[in-house]
Structure 1
Amino acid sequence: MTQTPDSIPAPLPVPVLHTIAREHHPISRKAISPGALRVLYRLREAGHGAFLVGGAVRDLLIGLQPKDFDIATDATPDEVRALFRNSRLIGRRFRLAHVVFGREIVEVATFRSNADDGSGDRETHEGGRLLRDNVYGTIEEDAIRRDFTANALYYAIEDFSVRDYTGGFEDVQNRVLKLIGDPEQRYREDPVRMLRAVRLAAKLDFSIDPATAAPIAVLAPLLREAAPARLFEECLKLFLSGRGEASFLGLEAHGLLPILFPESADALARNRSGVLREFILEGLRNTDARVAADEPVSPAFLFALLLWPAYCHALIGLQAAGTHAAEAQRRAADRVTLHQLGTVALPRRFSLPMQEIWLLQTRLPLRQRKRVMRTLAHPRFRAAFDFLVLRDAASGSHSEDVEFWREAQRDPDHAIAAHPPAVEGEGEGDAGEPRKRRRRRRRPASADAG
C-alpha cells in the first residue's frame, strides 16, 4: 500500500529498559504453572531467550492468579515446534505455538517487530488494520508493539527479574491502562483494542489513561469492520469474566454500546423510566455473582438480557401496527436476532434458547392448570423464571408472578388453587413490561336472550 504523508504511521516510542530486581516485585515461581516453567527452562537450555509475558506478569504484580501463562521468545514457531513434541502451530494472522500439558496449554509467541524489511509476512488493510503480522524481531521491538504498557512486562526466568521497556511497571503500580504509541494509530491497526481497553479496565479496576480513552468515541464505528464472530468472543470476555456490570458501564461511558448493541442502545435511550437499564444492570450483577461462585452462566441467557430492550421496542412497534400479540412476539424475536447477527455473530445454539426465554415471559402470567404444567415442563422454564425474577427486581411489577411460579415448582396444584388465573397480557408499557388485561365478566344471559 502506498502511503501519503498524512497516512504515515506515527513512530512508536523508543524502548528504555528498566529492570526490576526480584526483591522489588512480588512474583514467585510458586505462582507460575509447572507447564509454563518447563517451557521457559527448556527454551533457555536450548540457547533461546524466554520470558513470561503479558497478562500473567501484570496479574501476578497486583496479586491476581492468572488463568493463562503466555511466553515470548526469540525462537521461531518452527524452532519451538522442534523442541516440544507436545506442541502444535496455530494461527495465520499471528503464527504461534501451543505447548500442551494435559489440560493446560502454554502459548509461545516469537518476538515480533514493527518494522518490515520484506523478509517477513505482514499484510495491512488500507485503513491501517493489521490483517497478518509475522515479522520477527527483538525483545525491545516486541515490547513497543504490544498494545498496553501493562501488558509489555517480561519476567526473566534466569534471574527472576521483571523487564520493563515502556513504563508498564509504574502504570501497573498506579493502576492505569495506557496504550503504547499513538492511540488513534493503534486503534486503527486493530479496532477491537477499544473493547480490550474497556474490558481490562473493568477486570483490573484500572482507570484508562485520558489520552488512551480520548479517541474511542470517535473511532468506535471502526468496530463494524471487525469479524462478527470475533466480536461475539469479545462479548463473552466482557460479560462473563465476573466484571460484567463494570464492562457495561465502560461501554456506555466510551460510546461503544451503540456499536455492539445498536437496537438495545436505542431502546435504552427511549426508555424514560430507566427500568430497562436497571434490568440489565441487575442481570449483570447477578451474572457477576454467579461467576464469582463458580456457577455456570449461559451465553443464551446473557444475550437474552442484553437484547431484551431491543426485543421490547420491536414488540411495541409491531403491536402498534396491529399485529396479533403472539405473531408480534415471534416476529420481534426473529427481527432482533437477525439484525444483531450483522454486528455480533450469535450462534444458533444460543439464539434459539434466547428467543425461547423471551417468548416464555408471556406464558408466565397464565395460571390455567394445563398451561402451568406445560410451562413447568419446558426445557427453558428455569431460565425464563430466573429472567422473570430479574424483571421483578428492576421494576417491582412481577412479584405476584414470581411468588406463583416459585410455589408452582414445589406444588403446582396448591399454587393454582391459591392464585386465581390471569389473562395473557397484551401491549407494552413504557419500559417494555407486558400489561395484564383482565377479561370482563359476562353478565348471566337472561331468559329472553335465550
Structure 2
Amino acid sequence: VYGTIEEDALRRDFTVNALYYNIADFSVVDYANGVQDLEHGILRLMGDPEIRYREDPVRMLRAARFAAKLGFVLDPATEAPIAELAGLLGEVPPARLFEEVLKLFMGGYGVASFEKLRHFGLFEQLFPATEAALATEEEGFPHTMVLQGLQNTDARVRSGKPVTPAFLFAVLLWEPVRLRAREYEAQGMAPYAALQAASSDIIEHQLARVAIPRRFSTPMREIWALQPRFQHTKGKRPQRLFAHPRFRAAYDFLLLRAESGEADRELAQWWTDFQKQHAVPEPDARVEEQRSRRRRRGGRRRRGPATGGKGE
C-alpha cells in the first residue's frame, strides 16, 4: 500500500505505533500524540475503536498482548467495546488465531497475557472449554496449573531455552480433558480409553476456535496419554516408559501437575530419583531390526516385466 507518511500513520493500530524517526534532524515525528501516550503508558487505538475492532477483531488480541508486554493500560475508549465485541473473534480463521496465541503465550509474558485476556473476556473466545474448567476449579489447582505452566514458559523464554507449542497447548487444554475423561469413567469406560476419548473430544472442539497443526497436536496427545503410565513403578514398566521418545516432555508435565497439587508429589519425586539412577536405555535390538527391514523394503524398486529386443 502506497501513500504519504501521514496516511501510513493513520493505518497503524495504536498511537504509540504511529511514531517515525527523521534521520535528517534526528527528531521523532508524531502524528497522533503517540509520544504523550508512550510517556504515560497508555495504549490508545487509532480512530473509532468499535469500527477498528469490527474491521479486524484480532486488534482486540493485539491490545491485550501489547498491554501485557509493555505493562501499559488501555485507554478507556479503547477498552470499552471489547467485552461486547469479543465474540467477533469467532469469525477469524482458526489458523490465524493459532499464530496469535503463540505471540500471546510464547513471548516471555504469557502470565500477563493470560490475565489480560481473562480480564477483557477474550480468553473464553480462544479456549472456551478451558475457561469453563477454570470456573469449576477444585481446591484451586486448575487455575494454578495454567498459571504455573505459563510461568515456567516465561522463565524458559527469559533464559533463552526452547519452548514448544505442543507443551503449551497440553497445559492450556489439560483441565477440560481431565474433566471430560472423568465423565467417561463415570459412564463405565476404562481410564485409559476415557482419556483417549476425552482428548479427541476437546481437540475437535478446540480446532473450531484455534487451529493446532498436527505436528503439535500429536505430541500433545502423547504427553497426555503417558500420564497414567507414571502410576506404574514396578517391574519393567518404568524402564519402558523411560525409553519413550516423549518421556521428557511427559515427565515435565507430571512435575507441573504435582506442583499445582493435581498429581502426587511423591510420585513425581520417585520419577525424579529414577532418572538419576538409570541411564537412557538403548532401543530394543529387535525393534531396530524391524525398522531396518522396513527401510530396506521401502527402498526397493519394483522391476517391471522383462521386455525383449527387436524381433520379439
TMscore range, shorter length: 0.7 to 0.9
Unaligned 5+ runs, structure 2? 280-312
Q: Helix, strand or coil for the counterpart of 1:361?
A: helix
Matched, 1:277 2:143: yes
Deviation at 1:272, TM superposition (A): 4.2
Q: Helix, strand or coil for the counterpart of 2:231?
A: coil
Deviation at 1:198, TM superposition (A): 0.5
**Alignment match, 2:268:** 402
Distance in 2 between residues matched to 1:322 and 1:292, nearest whole Å: 45
1:9-50 residue CA offsets vs partner (Å, 9 max, x unmatched): xxxxxxxxxxxxxxxxxxxxxxxxxxxxxxxxxxxxxxxxxx
**Alignment match, 2:80:** 214
**Alignment match, 1:238:** 104
Matched, 1:251 2:101: no
Q: Quick one: structure 1 residues 396 and 352, their matched pair in 2 at CA, closer, same or farther if it must change by over 3 Å?
A: closer
**Alignment match, 2:286:** none
Deviation at 1:397, TM superposition (A): 4.6
1:363-391 residue CA offsets vs partner (Å, 9 max, x unmatched): 11211221101110111111111111111
Q: Quick one: structure 1 residues 404 and 348, their matched pair in 2 at CA, closer, same or farther if it must change by over 3 Å?
A: same
After superposition, residues 352-391 of structure 1 pair within 5 angstroms as: 352-391=218-257
Matched, 1:264 2:168: no
Pairing partner for 1:172 from 23, 33, 38: 38
After superposition, residues 48-63 of structure 1 pair within 5 angstroms as: none
Amino acid in structure 1 at the alignment position of 2:218? L
Matched, 1:229 2:105: no
After superposition, residues 125-204 of structure 1 pair within 5 angstroms as: 134=1, 136-204=2-70
Amino acid in structure 2 at the alignment position of 1:139? I
Distance in 1 between residues matched to 2:49 and 2:109, nearest whole Å: 25
Q: Helix, strand or coil for the counterpart of 1:154?
A: strand
Pairing partner for 2:163 from 289, 297, 301: 297
Deviation at 1:273, TM superposition (A): 2.4
Distance in 2 between residues matched to 1:298 and 1:369, nearest whole Å: 32
Deviation at 1:145, TM superposition (A): 2.2
Higher strand share: 1
Amino acid in structure 2 at the alignment position of 1:306? L
Deviation at 1:149, TM superposition (A): 0.5
Deviation at 1:216, TM superposition (A): 0.8
Amino acid in structure 2 at the alignment position of 1:302? L
Distance in 2 between residues matched to 1:283 and 1:250, nearest whole Å: 16
Q: Residues 223 and 249 of structure 2 are in contact (CA less than 8 Å); yes or no, is this contact kept in structure 1?
A: yes
Pairing partner for 2:192 from 323, 326, 342: 326
After superposition, residues 310-349 of structure 1 pair within 5 angstroms as: 310-349=176-215
Q: Helix, strand or coil for the counterpart of 2:228?
A: coil
Deviation at 1:412, TM superposition (A): 4.5
Distance in 1 between residues matched to 2:203 and 2:271, nearest whole Å: 28
Normalising by structure 2, we get a TM-score of 0.87
Distance in 2 between residues matched to 1:148 and 1:272, nearest whole Å: 40
Distance in 2 between residues matched to 1:169 and 1:366, nearest whole Å: 60
Higher helix share: 2
Q: Quick one: structure 1 residues 165 and 306, their matched pair in 2 at CA, closer, same or farther if it must change by over 3 Å?
A: same
After superposition, residues 60-99 of structure 1 pair within 5 angstroms as: none
Distance in 1 between residues matched to 2:262 and 2:143, nearest whole Å: 14
After superposition, residues 31-50 of structure 1 pair within 5 angstroms as: none
Distance in 1 between residues matched to 2:197 and 2:43, nearest whole Å: 43
Comparing both chains, which one has the higher relative contact order based on Cα–Cα distances under 8 Å and sequence gaps of 6 or more?
A: 2
Unaligned 5+ runs, structure 1? 1-133, 414-450
**Alignment match, 1:306:** 172
Amino acid in structure 2 at the alignment position of 1:256? L
Tell me which stretches of 4 or more aligned residues in structure 1 moved more than 3 Å.
none
Q: Helix, strand or coil for the counterpart of 2:230?
A: coil
Distance in 2 between residues matched to 1:337 and 1:370, nearest whole Å: 32
